[in-house]
């Protein structure tokens, strides 16, 4: 295995020079052109004396791809920034990472200015950099990238990922899914997120596969792109798959080339999985990962599939489910998921205490997720430690309740949180979005829960919403759900 992403990319580009590497909105690049443009960016960054950390405030685009690999080849560290952050959040990230300027596009210049960061417009800078011709790759930086978590549970933290972190995850994913240069990937996720950065940018660039990049996810356009580009691989979150399912209802679409429809980032509803199978002959492959693990930990594959689970772990990772004492919980017993292996992060930038809280002395990452492993090694996610509700001394995980609610034919989305309760301390409260044209009332949904789960897990309240606020990755922002102003006693 190569020592750096940049070196591996150049070797792949040389071996696949005339293949299409990236299909963008403005233009496409063969691998020869892709590598040449990246080396030109590297030369220009060096000539201009760019700082060690290069900030990219860019959408999903061919410009991002070239800038990312160009920064790596210059020996610098690319830092993709979330363009959906507020100016205050972006300013905090820039201060934490020591950034004074950012490569961006005209629509995002106001955001950068409001955050107090100098902008370099890639529309003007990149053509000039490329026209100057390629340079010589510099000695790679040990750090490959710094990715800031979305901040849905607090201030964004910089996750430091090394060259070996990303290379090992890419190699393991390539083996797990049998990726080859023949694959064609559709990139619909924002590239500031690890799920997209690894699987729809770095992996195909190192395998020699083609990536089709969409700057904005539009369900109908994405479905049409699958057919038009003979896409074999789509990496998206379940909410995107659901939106696409609604958008193509009644359309004549051809998904026959789609062999690896991978999803993660949030639970995959059973009805969404079944709808794709029944209507389009497509089997969604649910997986699991974290920014801190570069990111993929486990995934279902066409040859190793167990619906309702997140598949088996990658071959180079050790995954444990532990009890409160840190001992193995046992087969099919819930516990916290711990992960050890070469893709586990270097740590949180400028946060040694927080790093030591999640990485044990023997190098296991404590994920904060709750799950269980069956006898065949399939992993099931059952909740989040931080979301756990303690009701009268019993542990209640929202995901279990949400899955029951989602089994109701009128429910399209569900979210459960804990609220104060005079007798129990905490009790579950459900928030539900109904399908258009269908109805259900509170007692009906409570009765459904009573028929399938223990009574202490049944929501004490059910509140109906038109929609949920979501993170850039499509996760429901549970911290923005109202938890109630006063304690309840029923």
CB-count burial class (<10 Å; 0-12, 13-18, 19+) for 439: exposed
Q: Number of C-alpha atoms within 13 angstroms, CB side, residue 307?
A: 12
Integer CA distances (angstroms), 284 to 80, 103, 147, 300, in order = 28, 36, 27, 9
pLDDT surpassing 50 at residue 8: yes
Mean pLDDT in residue range 460-472: 90
Can you read off the two tokens belonging to residue 192?
């500031």
Other Cβ atoms within 10 Å of 131 Cβ, number: 9
- The rounded mean pLDDT for the chain is 93
Q: Mind spelling out the 3-state secondary structure of 134-149?
A: CCCCCCCCCEEEEEEC
Mean pLDDT in residue range 316-321: 98
**So what's the pLDDT on residue 476?**
87
pLDDT surpassing 80 at residue 420: yes
Picking from 284, 390, 298, 377, the residue whose alpha carbon sits closest to that of residue 341 is 298
pLDDT surpassing 70 at residue 153: no
Which of 20-24, 147-151, 222-226 comes out lowest in average pLDDT?
147-151
Can you read off the two tokens belonging to residue 230?
């003979």
**Structure confidence at residue 154 as a pLDDT band (50, 70, 90):** low
**So what's the pLDDT on residue 482?**
67
Report the C-alpha gap between 153 and 188 in whole angstroms.
24
With the CA atoms of 341, 343, 346 and 350 taken in that order, what torsion angle do they form, in degrees rounded to the nearest 10? -130
Report the C-alpha gap between 471 and 172 in whole angstroms.
28
More confident residue, 86 or 434: 434
**So what's the pLDDT on residue 489?**
36
Query: Is 71 in contact with 53 (CB distance < 8 Å)?
Result: no
Pairing of strands 184-187, 143-148: unpaired
Domains defined for the chain, CATH in brackets: 5-373 (3.40.50.12780), 387-480 (3.30.300.30)
**So what's the pLDDT on residue 267?**
84
Other Cβ atoms within 10 Å of 278 Cβ, number: 9
Picking from 264, 196, 251, the residue whose alpha carbon sits closest to that of residue 223 is 251
Pairing of strands 101-104, 77-80: unpaired
**So what's the pLDDT on residue 266?**
81
Q: Give the tens place of pLDDT for each residue, 85-109.
A: 889 889 999 999 999 899 999 999 9
Q: Give the tens place of pLDDT for each residue, 230-258.
A: 999 999 998 899 999 999 988 888 999 99
Report the C-alpha gap between 31 and 8 in whole angstroms.
13
**So what's the pLDDT on residue 1?**
61
């Amino acid at each position: 295995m190569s020592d750096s992403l940049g070196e591996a990319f150049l070797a792949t580009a040389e071996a696949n020079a005339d293949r299409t590497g990236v299909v963008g909105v403005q233009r496409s690049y063969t691998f020869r052109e892709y590598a040449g443009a990246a080396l030109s960016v590297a030369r220009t960054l060096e000539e201009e004396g760019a700082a060690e950390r290069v900030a990219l405030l860019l959408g999903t685009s061919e410009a991002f791809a070239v800038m990312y690999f160009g920064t790596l080849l210059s020996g610098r560290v690319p830092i993709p920034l979330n363009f959906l952050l507020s100016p205050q959040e972006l300013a905090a990230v820039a201060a934490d990472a020591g950034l004074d300027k950012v490569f961006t596009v005209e629509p995002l210049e106001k955001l950068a200015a409001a955050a107090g960061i100098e902008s370099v417009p890639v529309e003007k800078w990149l053509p000039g950099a490329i026209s100057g011709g390629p340079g010589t790759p510099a000695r790679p930086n040990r750090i490959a990238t710094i990715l800031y978590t979305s901040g849905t549970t607090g201030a964004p933290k910089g996750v430091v990922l090394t060259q070996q972190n990303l290379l090992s995850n890419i190699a393991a994913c390539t083996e797990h899914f049998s990726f080859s240069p023949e694959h064609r990937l559709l990139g619909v996720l924002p590239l500031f997120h690890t799920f997209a950065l690894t699987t729809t940018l770095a992996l195909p660039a190192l395998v020699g596969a083609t990536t089709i990049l969409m700057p904005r996810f539009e369900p109908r356009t994405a479905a049409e792109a699958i057919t038009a580009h003979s896409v074999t691989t789509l990496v998206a979150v379940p909410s995107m798959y659901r939106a696409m399912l609604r958008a193509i209802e009644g359309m004549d679409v051809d998904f026959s080339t789609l062999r690896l429809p991978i999803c993660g980032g949030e639970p995959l509803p059973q009805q969404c999985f079944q709808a794709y199978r029944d209507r389009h002959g497509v089997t969604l492959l649910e997986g699991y990962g974290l920014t801190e693990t570069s990111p993929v930990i486990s995934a279902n594959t066409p040859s190793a599939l167990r619906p309702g689970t997140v598949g088996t772990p990658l071959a180079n990772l050790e995954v444990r489910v532990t009890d409160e004492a840190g001992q193995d919980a046992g087969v099919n017993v819930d516990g916290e998921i711990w992960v050890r292996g070469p893709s586990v992060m270097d740590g949180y930038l400028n946060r040694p205490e927080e790093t030591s809280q999640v990485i044990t002395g023997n190098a296991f990452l404590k994920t904060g997720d709750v799950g269980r492993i069956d006898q065949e090694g399939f992993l099931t996610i059952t909740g989040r430690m931080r979301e756990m509700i303690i009701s009268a001394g019993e542990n209640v995980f929202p995901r279990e309740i949400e899955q029951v609610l989602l089994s109701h034919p009128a429910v399209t989305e569900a979210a459960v949180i804990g609220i104060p309760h005079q007798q129990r301390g905490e009790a579950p409260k459900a928030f539900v979005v109904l399908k258009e044209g269908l109805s259900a009332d509170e007692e009906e949904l409570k009765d459904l829960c009573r028929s399938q789960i223990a009574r202490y897990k049944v929501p004490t309240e059910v509140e109906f919403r038109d929609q949920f606020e979501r993170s850039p990755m499509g996760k429901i922002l549970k911290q923005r759900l109202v938890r109630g102003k006063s304690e309840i006693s029923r």
